[in-house]
Amino acid sequence: MSMSPLARKAASDLRRTQQDYRRSVRQRYRPSSSPGILGMLAGMLLGAFLTRRSNPMPSWAEPAPPAPPAPAATPAGVGKMTMSPQGIPLSTEFKQGFGLAVERLPDSPGIYAEVYWPQRGLRIGETGRSIRGKLGHDFRWFNGMHDGTAPERDLRRTSPICQAAKATGAEGFEFYVVSTDPRLADKALRQETERFLHDWAERAPGFVNWNFQTAWC
């Protein structure tokens, strides 16, 4: 059965409308070619990463390095220095609580100091063998004077250092290294330096000079 011209036109218009509708639906739901917000963010991050690798951060913009640790307290006998006439540096800063235990003293010739803090008595001595050995002997002698086991002739002595040892033993004393300069292996130079330090101790502020030696052999 043939269609009239009017019916054919109506059918043609209907097909065209359906085709236009399907085309518009396909275009509406087709994936967009634009990157969108997430795509833009990803691009920005990638660009920043590549820029950082090709252009490293200038030194002034780098994080500051961690601060170095605070220096340890300077032990006594290391801070203040006195120079002998022969050019030997001598450690002459004696601080209470910073003396060295006998086992930490050097096993070498040199010059040492003994400080009796209850009276701030200062005695300076020298040895051509071992400072550790010499002051280890003094440590035992101080205790022997205190407990009465020292030789009888020593127990009768009345010098300030003997009286101090009788009173407290080694507990009241601290030991310090004044110098272990290799040149002090020479006995004459070592004794000359000791005499210089005895004169210095007479004027040392805050201490009582307990150096009564008048002859060297």
Q: Which three-class secondary structure string do you get for 143-159?
A: HHHHHCCCCHHHHCCCC
Q: How confident is the model at residue 213 (pLDDT cuts 50, 70, 90)?
A: confident
CA 212 to CA 39: how far, in whole Å? 92
Question: Is residue 168 within 8 Å of residue 118, measured between CB atoms?
Answer: yes
Structural domain count of the chain? 1
Nearest to 76 by CA among 146, 175, 204, 142: 175
Whether residue 186 lies inside any domain: the answer is yes
Note the pLDDT of residue 81: 81
The predicted pLDDT at position 58 comes to 52
Does the residue 215 lie in any domain?
Answer: no
In a domain, 19, yes or no: no
Domain-located, residue 85: yes
Global model pTM greater than 0.75: no
Residue 130: band (very low, low, confident or very high) from pLDDT cuts 50, 70, 90: very high
Inside any domain, residue 193: yes
Q: How far is CA 4 from the centre of its chain?
A: 108
pLDDT at 30 over 80: no
62 vs 137, higher pLDDT: 137
Domain that holds residue 174: 81-209
Per-residue pLDDT, 60: 46
Query: How far apart, in whole angstroms, are the C-alpha atoms of residue 212 and residue 160?
Result: 10
Q: Identify the pLDDT of residue 77.
A: 39
We report the CATH number of the domain holding residue 124 as 3.40.1440.10
Q: Does residue 193 have a pLDDT over 80?
A: yes
